[in-house]
Amino acid sequence: MSRAPAILALAALVLALTGLGGCGFTPLYARPGVAGGLTHIDVEAPKGRVGYLLRENLDDDFGRAKGDAPVYRLQLALDTRRESHGLTANDTAQRYQLNLRVTYNLIEVSSGKVAHTGSVISDISYDSTDQPYAGIAARQDVQNRLAEDVAQKIEVQVAAWLASQPAG
């Protein structure tokens, strides 16, 4: 067996990566203040299962420093909708789509001023079932996945905003 294709691929990867240093590329979390700023955000989520899951995911994604005083407070407003799809002859849904829109305000704790606002949307479909427990489990799984997806989108938006702020 020839190892030439693997060696060529490795050489191409090394050349591509060395080129990134000269183009001004900087990883998002390498910017001063981004990772540290994320750890000092206190998340306030609305009541309910999805709000709880979203707050837990954001605390994990931000790496929340629980012992430190927060610099920012993240207030979330959730709008969840369920749509029926694939109606059968007796007018029951075969699939559902759960839509989640989250609008957020990042507030400076010291001044109480809104520092950044944003909105993210996610939607996930799932099959309906005749079994009650399976239907509940499917819906809860979708809620878990929605909360995780929205949390990742919010983290990216907030991190990008923190990276755009002047150091100091």
What pLDDT was estimated at residue 45? 84
Span 83-114, pLDDT tens digits: 776 666 666 657 777 889 999 999 999 999 99
DSSP strand pairing (93-108 vs 72-87):
antiparallel
What pLDDT was estimated at residue 80? 86
Is a pLDDT exceeding 50 seen at residue 30?
no
The residue among 165 and 33 whose pLDDT is bigger is 165
Q: Would you say 45 and 76 are in contact if contact means Cβ atoms under 8 Å apart?
A: yes
Q: Nearest-CA neighbor of 77 among 164, 150, 1, 165?
A: 150
